[in-house]
Structure 1
Amino acid sequence: MLTDDLRKILEVEVVPAVGCTEPVAIALTAAAAMHAAGGVLRRMEIVTGVGVFKNARAVGIPGTDGVGIELAAALGAAIARPEAGMELLALVTPDVVQTANDILREAEVRSEVDLDRAGVYIRCWVETSEAQAAAETIDRHNNVRVVSVNGAELPAAGCAGGGRRPALRPMGSFRQMVDAIWGAPADSFTFMIDRTLKNLELAEYGLATGTGMGIGKCPDLPQGTTASLTAAACDARMSGVQRPVCTCAGSGNQGISATVPVLSEARARGASDEVTGRCLALSCLVTLYIKEYLGLLSPVCGCAVAAGAGSAAGLVMLGDGGPDACEDAASTVLATLAGMLCDGGKVGCAMKVWAAVSTAEEAARLALAGCRIPAGNGVVKTGIDETLRVLERVAREGMGSLDRALVAAMCG
């Protein structure tokens, strides 16, 4: 693997977003449809896949005190600026909220979930005083395009940019990726620090304000711990705080979980920018590598399984451990947290993030001491790539209908 290839992947995948990425993607799709149609909105229909539905239904929306798919779509229609991309909800103001509420009150707005659609899928159709238009978002949260205007199909041309990038898996093994990060020239990844510091800033804000379920207000919480700090960032984000975070693999919570532990520990150790950037790159690339096995939206909690493993590897590197120890730490997290379900975006995700980071810290300590879960223990194989293939099969064959069951149970 080449350093330039890894840098390019990070530049595509570690990007800012305001708000949980599923409501943002819904708003962005509605904004694209409304921008194409113009006029005054009369009717809007939104269809989401199961993964988008479960992550958007109960999470706070920035700039509002509300939740829900219809509200996200109405905000997008009110703003109608798809060029804002994943930072669209930074444009929410009291006037925009009022317009969105007027849309929900005066226009016909309805949404439904397509139980047969996995992964990222959103379709928004609008009818206005001027025209009808439809937009779709498929595979990536920002891969939105207008597909028809007044019934006429349009050629596939991106509206806000899909963020396409080459896959890591065909480039080489987990170990080859880790070795490439280790051997990259000095300062290859220092750009990651400025890119991800906003996540640490949100964590400190979350602890100070106790926003969300209130992790920062808990009197007995060990406020100085990395796990508490990281969970506070998730708590604030899921409550709808209108601040940007740096995402990883399409998820702000994964971005938080992969970066805040490394940034916090690097600051405590006084690590150089060169070391900090390299550890951040390792954490995020491990997260991305694992998500290629499990899928962008999956029944398994990505913060726990992917970002937890990534931060464990990053913490090992920060502790002067070698590539073997990085793999051992990541494998330990996979073996421990592989069964944690993703039951949708909400402030309660903060506790899953807390569990993931706590496990990552312990896995890193064990790996640095030469300890690992031996091959043959459950899903653990001789190498991490074999373990990931097992988990990929479990997710595909054993959990293929789990999201449908979760959505049915949550809505029942």
Structure 2
Amino acid sequence: MDKSDKLYSAYLDILHEELMPAMGCTEPIAIAYAAAMARKVLEDMPDRVEVYASDNIIKNVKSVVVPNTGNLRGIKAATAAGIVAGNADKVLEVISEVSREKQKEIALFLDSTDISLHNSPNDIIFDIIVKVYAGSSCASVQISHYHTNIVHIGKDDKEVFHTQPCDDINQTTVTDRSIMTVEGIIDFAESVDIDKVKDALQKQVKYNSAIAEEGIKNKWGANVGSVLLNTWGNDIKTRAKAFAAAGSDARMSGCELPVVIVSGSGNQGLAASVPVIEYAKELQVDQDTLYRALLISNLVTIHQKTGIGRLSAYCGAISAGIGAGAGITWLLGGKYEEVAHTIVNALAIVSGIICDGAKPSCAGKIASAVEAGILGYHMYKNGQQFYAGEGIVTKGVENTIKNIGRLGRDGMAQTDKEIIKIMLGE
């Protein structure tokens, strides 16, 4: 790809927008970020708090441990952590530095302060509003569409900052993702000046490998990663699944190590990167080759998620596991044809696994997604594939990816509502 091409610059921008560090599940961390920002604007400790959240935020925060809170869960815990101990300047690492004393203060604030929860008044899938009150003074912060996208800040009756929340993420200030294609991704990954993306990829390898190792060594969540190794052994196909799952085991249960996220999700960041890192170790490739494989995995993940949306009833780990399959295929010598068939084969196998919020079972879904990505490659290597007209598979990888976007965005919209009702006991 010509480095003066607009596509080249767009892919670079997308990567820099997507690959960022976060500590903890990103939905509660986004709430903590909004709360920390609201507290900063208020310039006082609030005596009352109101939190407004869209259904998908409620779904993804309900069951996950908020790190650095002493094993607390849920929206109120994330809000209190942001207010009491958050540093808004650190964005998605907002509660990465919390002392034991501050953890006690978080618990005390929860016990002594009225924090009321409400459904978002806006028809936006990803929407958070935190309002904090101190006497007659009030401050509010709204985040919409993605985890760092502050669209409104208010203090008393004045607007400090405002940008009109639009109908979807593609109308925001992020780079247009619709330009992406599998062929373009491979072209970019094979031609990019690695120095342009090296810092982000180095951090992804370092952070995501560290939390995966932690998930294997110690007991976290349902220990899916350890179960895989103990049951099926230590070959590379098992390690690729196990270490990715182990990172999620730790992360979903409150591990305080950071993760480099993809498509706004740490679990997707783990699923897209750790299997590729494990295969690179097995194959003993050089660092440059690993980074190019990670570019393919990350960008294929983002490409799939573009049509689905940030939050959906369609499990994002599926997109990331298939992205990892694409990166692994390239590591094993595959080019566009092999990568494209790997993606289609894998999509035919696991598309439709539901997202029922962030919690320990995410690790199992990651393992299934990575398994499908690897199987998709080995099917094609052995002369086997799924064909157009078989279910949701359509001729051409881009057309099948579009079908998945339609399925996740439109077809599973009612499924999303039913999942939320089930989770809330309605």
Structure 1 residue 141 displacement after superposition: 0.2
* 1:14 pairs with 2:19: yes
Structure 1 residue 12 displacement after superposition: 1.6
Query: Residues 189 and 33 of structure 1: is their aligned pair in 2 closer, same or farther, counting only changes over 3 Å?
Result: closer
SS in structure 2 opposite 1:89?
Answer: coil
Query: Residues 269 and 188 of structure 1: is their aligned pair in 2 closer, same or farther, counting only changes over 3 Å?
Result: farther
Query: Residues 145 and 96 of structure 1: is their aligned pair in 2 closer, same or farther, counting only changes over 3 Å?
Result: farther
Q: Which whole-Å deviations, capped at 9, do the CAs of 1:28-56 have from their partners, x for residues lacking one?
A: 11111111112232110111111111111
Give TM-score scaled by structure 1 length: 0.93
* 1:34 pairs with 2:34: no
Q: Is the deviation greater in 103-112 or in 344-353?
A: 103-112
Equivalent in 292, 296, 302 of residue 316 of structure 2? 302
Query: Residues 185 and 68 of structure 1: is their aligned pair in 2 closer, same or farther, counting only changes over 3 Å?
Result: closer
Counterpart residue number, 2:87: 81
Counterpart residue number, 2:210: 201
Partners of 1:173 and 1:227 lie apart in 2 by 26
What is the identity, as a one-letter code, of the residue corresponding to 2:231? D
What is the identity, as a one-letter code, of the residue corresponding to 1:236? A
Computed over aligned residues only, the root mean square deviation of the Cα atoms, in angstroms, reads: 2.2
Structure 1 residue 236 displacement after superposition: 0.3
Counterpart residue number, 1:120: 126
SS in structure 2 opposite 1:136?
Answer: strand
Partners of 1:395 and 1:267 lie apart in 2 by 34
Segments of 5+ residues of structure 2 without an aligned counterpart are 1-5
What is the identity, as a one-letter code, of the residue corresponding to 1:194? Q
Equivalent in 381, 399, 415 of residue 386 of structure 1? 399
Structure 1 residue 223 displacement after superposition: 5.1
Query: Residues 402 and 247 of structure 1: is their aligned pair in 2 closer, same or farther, counting only changes over 3 Å?
Result: same
Structure 1 residue 146 displacement after superposition: 4.8
Structure 1 residue 383 displacement after superposition: 0.8
Q: Is the deviation greater in 124-133 or in 290-299?
A: 124-133
* 1:134 pairs with 2:148: no
1:1-400 counterparts in 2 under 5 A? 2-63=7-68, 64-114=70-120, 117-129=123-135, 131-144=137-150, 146-156=152-162, 164-169=173-178, 171-184=179-192, 189-197=197-205, 198-215=207-224, 218=227, 219-220=230-231, 222=233, 225-304=239-318, 306-400=319-413
Partners of 1:134 and 1:52 lie apart in 2 by 18
Structure 1 residue 302 displacement after superposition: 0.6
Is the 1:209–1:217 Cα contact (8 Å) retained in structure 2? Answer: no
Counterpart residue number, 2:3: none
Is the 1:48–1:114 Cα contact (8 Å) retained in structure 2? Answer: yes
Query: Residues 185 and 152 of structure 1: is their aligned pair in 2 closer, same or farther, counting only changes over 3 Å?
Result: closer
Structure 1 residue 105 displacement after superposition: 1.3
Query: Residues 83 and 184 of structure 1: is their aligned pair in 2 closer, same or farther, counting only changes over 3 Å?
Result: closer
Partners of 2:413 and 2:226 lie apart in 1 by 39
What is the identity, as a one-letter code, of the residue corresponding to 2:100? P
Structure 1 residue 191 displacement after superposition: 4.1
SS in structure 2 opposite 1:154?
Answer: strand
Query: Residues 292 and 172 of structure 1: is their aligned pair in 2 closer, same or farther, counting only changes over 3 Å?
Result: closer
Partners of 2:36 and 2:400 lie apart in 1 by 41
Structure 1 residue 322 displacement after superposition: 1.2
Structure 1 residue 107 displacement after superposition: 1.2
Q: Which whole-Å deviations, capped at 9, do the CAs of 1:253-301 have from their partners, x for residues lacking one?
A: 0000000000111011111112111000000000111111100111100
Q: Is the deviation greater in 342-351 or in 102-111?
A: 102-111
Segments of 5+ residues of structure 1 without an aligned counterpart are none
Is the 1:61–1:240 Cα contact (8 Å) retained in structure 2? Answer: yes
Structure 1 residue 144 displacement after superposition: 2.4
Structure 1 residue 84 displacement after superposition: 1.2
- The number of residues matched between the two structures is 407
Partners of 1:347 and 1:301 lie apart in 2 by 14
Q: Which whole-Å deviations, capped at 9, do the CAs of 1:320-350 have from their partners, x for residues lacking one?
A: 0111110111111211111100000001111
Q: Is the deviation greater in 111-120 or in 343-352?
A: 111-120
